[in-house]
Structure 1
Amino acid sequence: MAPSIVAENSIVVSAGEQDQSLTDRNTFATRVAGKGADPEKKALLSAVTKRIDYSPKIGTELHGIQLSQLTEDQAEELAALIAERGVVFFRDQDDLDNSEQVKLGKRWGPLHIHPLVPHNQDNPEVIVLDSRLSPPTRFNTNDSWHSDVSFEPAPASFSILKFEEIPESGGDTIWSDARTLYDELSPAVQAFLEGLTATHSSDIFKVLTQSTGRKTFGKLNDSVHPVVRTNPVTGHKSIYTNPVFTREINGVTASESKWILDYLNNLVVQKLQYQVRFRWEKNSVAIWDNRSTYHTGIPDFSPFLRRGVRVTVSGEKPYFDKENSTTQAQGWEVKAKAIIAKQEAAGAAKEA
């Protein structure tokens, strides 16, 4: 029986015969984490000592929270906050080791086992992003925008990423808001896209298996998902295609498919107002909602090294609910009016 290939620090980089069916464990979420949480998030936010919103619509950093010590109510409220803000950041999470990271992820759903990326030998749900591994250009940083494992029948809901070793400079990660992308399209284009599906493929990993000779930990899937997706926590619509895993738009010609995908992908890259950028520190953690965001690592840290570990929570089968979906813009309009009213009141008080 062919053994798996294990690198230093118990990192499994290639499957042996005994673990080529690990991904058979992958399954769908049976509930929507965060959907029934307190909308005011009192249990979570009462413990926060400092909150930094990176932009009005996406990205929040919370201080005073240790992820390994969350109560059940706090964990549910955090899931809701991540769905609302797209990505939430934490610093100084020294005690969030692999087992605690797995424990946190399992609070929100079943954990995904990646078919190719190296993982921890004891916890195959924990994938390892270490620039010492080969080939570093794909396993350890990614300069292409994507939503994690969108090729799976049950793609990622949340991803939890912690960096244990960071470069002296470089290596930031950027997230982009797929809800804003949808909201800023014209109504005619929105309606057109809402009627389409797209095929998401693991072709990039199939190429890697051929070029490296590595054995996979299970099947490399292709899946069909709606182009416009409903987030089950917020009800907001977002564009659910990405440059890495979306192979084609279904039901149109090849040239039309390329035109649609190129247009959407270019918006993700070019529209800076959709984006937030995070500068990692040792033991920082980012948790994001793959149903409403894209992200990309920046491969600018050579010759420095970095090492991170990620746990990926499998979500529901992607769907679009035309009757019950809303837009982020509709909810934001109410918040914007409240912010303007507060600013005007502060100005009037200052003049008085």
Structure 2
Amino acid sequence: MAKTVHPRGDAPALVRPDVRRTSITVEPLTCTIGAELFGANLGVAARDDDLFAAIKQLLLRYKVLFLRDQDITRAEHVAFAARFGLLEDHPVLGGDPDHPGLVRIYKDLDSKPEHYENALHCDGTWRECPPMGAVLRCVETPDVGGDTIWVNMAEAYRRLPEHIKTQISGLRARHSVEASFGAVMPTEQRHKLKAQYPDAEHPVVRTHPETGEQVLFVNAFTTHFVNHHTPENVRFGQDHAPGAGNLLNYLISQAAIPEYQVRWRWQKNSFAIWDNRSTQHYAVQDYWPAVRKMERAGIIGDSPF
């Protein structure tokens, strides 16, 4: 059942007439992640401090927010996303020349079927500072198919067995753009990409900088642990790959558990806003040869700790 959430959760229920536009109706979509918002316009939120503050607080709580019928301009899309922080360009997908920070993800009849996005992932963990989050708009979508799934990786960590939590405490891992986006490139181009974005190293369990939650922080961009091959983990020179590889695969598989997920069915001018620090997502590519066009503004984040 939908409920109304005041933009300042600890404030009294009184709402002045001049700020009623910031009242938002919130409908949680699962028990662990995701909520749909009603009564909010992102174009207004790009200019209205109270409305933006309300949406930001809800994002920290639900980790991904959804809105429909947002007939706003590209400039308003970018302006809203920029309220969270500086926007990034994507080294592979490129950007909109008229709206810096906006990336067009268009899959149309002129495109070849692409499957690299068919993996649960956290955006840009191959960067030293992965994105804080993103604001994604549906421009065109198939009548059926093309959904996106998001996963609560704080919940995934919370429900790990205690002995696994102990085992991964202090572990760090590499994340690679060369082994993901670069894999389909010619060798020279792939090497150039890696030179521009060397493999990043991040903690396997990161701390969310705003909520303090512990988050399982490995995904499809993660290639290996960097500090697993120690006397505590390896006996008599046994190669590190079997034990470490099995553990990494187990951790990555946690994102596939349905109890941690929400699935969103797109419509034209619907939006998703997600916290990239505590989630993964998966673009379901079941619609070829239908057309799917999305536009994303990604927000620069900080170095995980």
On whether the aligned pair clears a TM of 0.5, the verdict is yes
Question: Within 5 A, what are the aligned runs for 1:252-291?
Answer: 252=228, 253-269=240-256, 271-291=257-277
Seen in structure 2, the aligned counterparts of structure 1 residues 301 and 143 have a Cα distance that, compared at 3 Å, is same
The answer for the alignment partner of 1:185 in structure 2 is 160
Contact 1:198/1:250 (CA < 8 Å) preserved in 2? yes
User: What is the percentage of aligned positions where both structures have the same residue?
Assistant: 32
In 2: Cα distance, 1:40 partner to 1:279 partner = 33
The answer for the alignment partner of 2:217 in structure 1 is 240
Question: Within 5 A, what are the aligned runs for 1:55-204?
Answer: 55-70=30-45, 71-95=48-72, 97-132=73-108, 134-138=111-115, 142-203=117-178, 204=180
How far residue 257 of structure 1 moved from its aligned partner, in angstroms, is 2.5
The answer for the alignment partner of 2:283 in structure 1 is 297
The answer for the alignment partner of 1:325 in structure 2 is none
TM-score by length of 1: 0.73
Q: Match of 1:179, SS? A: helix
How far residue 137 of structure 1 moved from its aligned partner, in angstroms, is 1.1
How far residue 144 of structure 1 moved from its aligned partner, in angstroms, is 0.4
One-letter code of the match for 2:211?
Answer: T
Q: Which consecutive unaligned segments of at least 5 residues does structure 2 have?
A: 1-6, 229-239
Q: Match of 2:185, SS? A: helix
Which whole-Å deviations, capped at 9, do the CAs of 1:107-150 have from their partners, x for residues lacking one? 111111111113212234211111126444157xx220000111
Task: Report how many residues are paired.
Answer: 278
The answer for the alignment partner of 2:208 in structure 1 is 231
In 1: Cα distance, 2:293 partner to 2:157 partner = 34
In 2: Cα distance, 1:45 partner to 1:288 partner = 25
In 2: Cα distance, 1:239 partner to 1:80 partner = 22
Question: Within 5 A, what are the aligned runs for 1:21-40?
Answer: 38-40=8-10
The answer for the alignment partner of 1:30 in structure 2 is none
Q: Match of 2:37, SS? A: strand
**1 or 2 for the larger relative contact order (CA 8 Å, sep ≥6)?**
2
How far residue 213 of structure 1 moved from its aligned partner, in angstroms, is 6.6
In 2: Cα distance, 1:174 partner to 1:85 partner = 14
How far residue 40 of structure 1 moved from its aligned partner, in angstroms, is 4.0
One-letter code of the match for 1:108?
Answer: F
Q: CA RMSD in A?
A: 2.6
Seen in structure 2, the aligned counterparts of structure 1 residues 102 and 49 have a Cα distance that, compared at 3 Å, is closer
In 2: Cα distance, 1:172 partner to 1:48 partner = 28
In 2: Cα distance, 1:45 partner to 1:294 partner = 34
Which whole-Å deviations, capped at 9, do the CAs of 1:34-88 have from their partners, x for residues lacking one? xxx9444888997445321011221000011001101123213322221221100
Q: Which consecutive unaligned segments of at least 5 residues does structure 1 have?
A: 1-36, 320-352
How far residue 205 of structure 1 moved from its aligned partner, in angstroms, is 2.1
TM-score by length of 2: 0.84
Which whole-Å deviations, capped at 9, do the CAs of 1:286-338 have from their partners, x for residues lacking one? 0011111110011111221010100110111101xxxxxxxxxxxxxxxxxxx
Pick the structure with more helix per residue.
1
In 1: Cα distance, 2:20 partner to 2:167 partner = 40
Which whole-Å deviations, capped at 9, do the CAs of 1:136-195 have from their partners, x for residues lacking one? 4157xx220000111111101111100111111100001111011111112222122121
In 1: Cα distance, 2:188 partner to 2:269 partner = 31
Contact 1:149/1:155 (CA < 8 Å) preserved in 2? yes
